[in-house]
């Protein structure tokens, strides 16, 4: 029950004074209450808990985080190891025995 | 949503594992608070990949697991009454009460219905005015806004045959209890990300200050968890204790202030008994005075319930991070998801269920994208 699901907002409408949305969770569509997120727009990804949209996922923040994580460990090894000789990503640190 | 899958990229995950192993000069004990995070860690084998650098202890963040036995027994008693329709989130149906579960009550003819949202329960009440509809309102801060709105709507629509059996629990007091324990081992936290969508990351300020402990808000994918773990280890190695947010795509400092306003109106803080753990002061929400007429416990007298926990179950120790599920003698023998002795074997967020699913044969899985 506690796990929020992200889904894409495909429709926003009013029902008896409350903002509602149709949200697509990877194929399955559900009606979701947007009383706590009335500013939500079609095309955004919302995080939904127990039938309520609570927040919009920030695509820019997601891409920035990914960018940062991908760059970790692929640049020169700050810990004194040999420098990576060019674009040998993936074959490098990732394979060092765990 | 393409970039969501990318947060499970195994190649980047392994590089992060290396980073963490390189930074850690000793094995740090880190608690992931949320049961959904426990599942992701175990499913991806992250705990095994970091063995020796980080020991994860699994926290109490599973609402199904910590809902007090007494409350389960109350729900069972309510569901057994002929005039009542008990609506519940699906994962509460198999939670063992003292003598049976909601499935058994339903098999005996009790009217127990699974709903996805409390608003569905309200709809049942509207459609069937001759029934008394009780919604079993459990969960952490994540489900509370939905449950609060159900009574607000019930009042606005004048639905009188609707009430709630409320047993909400709050995450920060449980973390404080873990830190206050004389057997405390936890050096840092991966904090539950989705709780912050409601309450904001600022709800952890006091904890960091009082206990001088690193708290990093984390998401649920492999990269989210590894990123947050790296940040915790970096703080621990530097002797620092800060609040940090590794889940910026979903949470911010303030949280959902609209939801917070409604929560403050509908609920009030109360002491709460956590199943397996015990009493934690100011760790729950109950209906406030203004909404007490929607309290099913006051509306229907279910009398005294005498609770009776399975004697061999070690769920309490599991929930406090004192033992791992597979050290329990009942694990995968007398206790399985189909025949659970404790609530931690039931839910998709319980630690025993996670170990049963991914760790029964002791196979190391390695980091992989999706289980
Ligand atoms: S394996 Fe079963 S009996 Fe053992 S602690 Fe977990 S829930 Fe309780």
Which has the minimum average pLDDT: A65-74, B184-193, B270-279? A65-74
Query: Residue B94 in contact with residue B303, Cβ under 8 Å?
Result: no
Residue of A nearest to B51 (CA): A98
Size of interface A-B (CB pairs under 8 A): 143
Ligand 1 nearest atom to the CA of residue B342, by list position: 7
Domains of chain B: 4-61+183-245 (3.40.50.11750), 64-170+255-299 (3.40.50.11740), 315-359 (no CATH)
Whole-number pLDDT of residue A74: 59
The tokens for A65 are 């985080």
Chain B residues inside the 8 Å CB shell of A94: 11, 14-15, 18
Please tell me which of the candidates A36, A57, A66 has its beta carbon nearest to residue B258.
A36
Supply the mean pLDDT for chain B. 91
| Alpha-carbon dihedral sign for residues B251, B255, B256, B260 | positive
| Per-residue pLDDT tens over the stretch B32-52 | 999 889 999 999 999 999 999
Choose which CATH entry (3.90.78.10, 1.25.40.10, 2.30.30.140, 3.90.1150.10) describes domain A5-81. Answer: 2.30.30.140
Portion 178-197 of B in contact with A at CB < 8 A = 194, 197
ipTM of the complex: 0.87
pLDDT > 70? residue B320: yes
Which strands form B28-34's sheet, in the order they lie side by side?
Answer: B54-61, B28-34, B188-192, B215-218, B243-245
- Sequence-distant (6+) residues with CB within 8 A of B319 are B58, B59, B60, B62, B65, B66, B274, B275, B276, B277, B344, B351
Q: Give the C-alpha separation, B314 to B329, whole Å.
A: 9
Burial pattern B235-247, b for ≥16 Cβ within 10 A else e, equals bbeeeebebbbbb
| Per-residue pLDDT tens over the stretch B65-106 | 899 999 999 999 999 999 999 999 998 998 999 989 999 999
Q: Give the C-alpha separation, B95 to B167, whole Å.
A: 15
pLDDT > 50? residue B308: yes
Q: Give the C-alpha separation, A88 to B41, whole Å.
A: 28
The tokens for B235 are 């703080």
Residues in chain A whose Cβ is within 8 Å of chain B? 1-4, 6, 8, 30, 33, 35-37, 45, 47, 49-52, 54-55, 57-59, 61-66, 69-70, 72-74, 79, 90, 93-96, 98
Query: Residue B164 in contact with residue B195, Cβ under 8 Å?
Result: no
pLDDT range class, residue A94, cuts 50, 70, 90: very low
Instruction: Report which of residues B347 and B127 the model is more confident about.
Output: B127
Q: Give the C-alpha separation, B78 to B314, whole Å.
A: 28
**Which of B140, B283, B269, B255 has its CA nearest to residue B198?**
B255
Percent of chain A residues past pLDDT 90, beyond the cut: 43
pLDDT > 50? residue A66: yes
Whole-number pLDDT of residue B277: 84
Chain B residues inside the 8 Å CB shell of A51: 116-120, 146
| Per-residue pLDDT tens over the stretch B162-175 | 999 999 999 999 99
Whole-number pLDDT of residue B76: 95
Residue of B60, B277, B341 to test ligand 1 pocket, by largest number of atoms within 8 Å of CB = B341
Burial (CB count within 10 angstroms: exposed 0-12, middle 13-18, buried 19+), residue B145 = buried
Whole-number pLDDT of residue B305: 72
């Amino acid at each position: 029950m506690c796990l929020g699901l992200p889904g894409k907002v495909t429709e926003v409408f009013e029902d008896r004074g409350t903002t509602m949305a149709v949200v697509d969770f990877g194929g399955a569509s559900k009606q979701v209450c947007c009383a706590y997120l009335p500013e939500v727009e079609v095309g955004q990804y919302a995080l939904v808990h127990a039938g309520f949209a609570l927040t919009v996922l920030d695509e820019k923040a997601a891409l920035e985080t990914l960018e940062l994580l991908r760059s970790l460990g692929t640049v020169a090894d700050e810990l004194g190891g040999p420098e990576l000789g060019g674009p040998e990503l993936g074959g490098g640190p990732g394979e060092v025995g765990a | 949503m393409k970039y969501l899958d990318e947060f499970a990229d195994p190649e980047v995950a392994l590089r992060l594992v290396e980073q963490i192993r390189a930074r850690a000069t000793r094995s740090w004990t880190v608690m992931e608070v949320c049961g959904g995070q426990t599942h992701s860690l175990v499913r991806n084998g992250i705990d095994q990949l970091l063995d020796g650098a980080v020991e994860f202890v699994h926290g109490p963040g599973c609402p199904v697991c910590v809902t007090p036995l007494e409350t389960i027994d109350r729900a069972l008693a309510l569901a057994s009454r002929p005039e009542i329709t008990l609506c519940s989130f699906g994962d509460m149906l198999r939670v063992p009460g003292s003598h049976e579960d909601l499935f058994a009550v339903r098999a005996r003819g009790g009217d127990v219905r699974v709903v996805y949202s409390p608003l569905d329960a309200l709809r049942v009440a509207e459609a069937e005015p001759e029934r008394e509809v009780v919604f079993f309102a459990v969960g952490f801060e994540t489900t509370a806004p939905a449950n609060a709105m159900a009574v607000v709507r019930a009042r606005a629509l004048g639905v009188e045959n609707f009430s709630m059996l409320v047993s909400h629990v709050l995450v920060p007091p449980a973390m404080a209890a873990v830190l206050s324990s004389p057997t405390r081992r936890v050096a840092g936290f991966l904090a539950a990300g989705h709780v912050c969508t409601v309450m904001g990351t600022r709800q952890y300020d006091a904890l960091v200050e009082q206990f001088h402990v690193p708290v990093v808000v984390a998401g649920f994918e492999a990269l989210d968890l590894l990123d947050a773990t790296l940040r915790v280890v970096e703080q621990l190695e530097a002797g620092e204790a800060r609040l940090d947010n590794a889940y910026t795509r979903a949470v911010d400092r303030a949280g959902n202030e609209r939801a917070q306003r409604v929560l403050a109106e509908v609920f009030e803080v109360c002491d709460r008994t956590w199943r397996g753990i015990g009493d934690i002061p100011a760790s729950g929400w109950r209906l406030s005075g203004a909404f007490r007429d929607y309290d099913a416990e006051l509306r229907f007298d279910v009398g005294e319930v005498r609770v009776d926990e399975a004697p061999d179950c070690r769920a309490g120790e599991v929930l406090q991070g004192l033992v791992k599920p597979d050290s329990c003698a009942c694990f995968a023998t007398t206790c399985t998801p189909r025949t659970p002795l404790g609530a931690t074997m039931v839910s998709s967020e319980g630690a025993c269920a996670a170990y049963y699913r991914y760790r029964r044969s002791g196979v190391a899985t390695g980091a992989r994208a999706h289980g």
